[in-house]
Amino acid sequence: DAGVTQSPTHLIKTRGQQVTLRCSPKSGHDTVSWYQQALGQGPQFIFQYYEEEERQRGNFPDRFSGHQFPNYSSELNVNALLLGDSALYLCASSSQDQPQHFGDGTRLSIL
């Protein structure tokens, strides 16, 4: 039973570019949440998707957007990249009130 899978594992971009990160949830999970983890910090909640809709959002600008597909997989898009967007981006999946399971993340570096 595959857990949460994320792609790519690493990515290097330059300022002003756009990036798309992908996440496949654990089998049986229907909710996907995205977190940003800056170096040396705890993860910060970006947003959550359920039934292909953004259900709630953390304190992130509109440059951060997402999507959930009918198979529950999800994408995180970031436009107009800034140096401060360099971080580990974590995807977590869950179902109803079950604990969230995390993927290994995508390490995004902005030059």
Beta bridge pairs of residue 91: 34
Give the helix ranges, DSSP H, for the chain.
Answer: none
Please identify which residue in 51, 52, 54, 104 interacts with other proteins, judged by CB under 8 A.
104
Q: Is 27 an interacting residue with respect to other proteins (CB under 8 A)?
A: no
Q: Is 33 an interacting residue with respect to other proteins (CB under 8 A)?
A: yes
Nearest to 34 by CA among 79, 84, 75: 75
Phi first, then psi: give them for residue 57, nearest 5 degrees.
Answer: -140, 140
x-or-dash pattern for other proteins, window 59-78, by CB under 8 A? Answer: --------------------
Contact call for residues 25 and 72 (beta carbons, < 8 A): yes
Please identify which residue in 45, 65, 67, 75 interacts with other proteins, judged by CB under 8 A.
45
Nearest to 47 by CA among 90, 84, 101: 90
Please identify which residue in 24, 36, 74, 100 interacts with other proteins, judged by CB under 8 A.
100
Site residues for other proteins per CB under 8 A: 4, 6, 31, 33, 35, 40-45, 48, 55-56, 58, 90, 92, 94, 97, 99-105
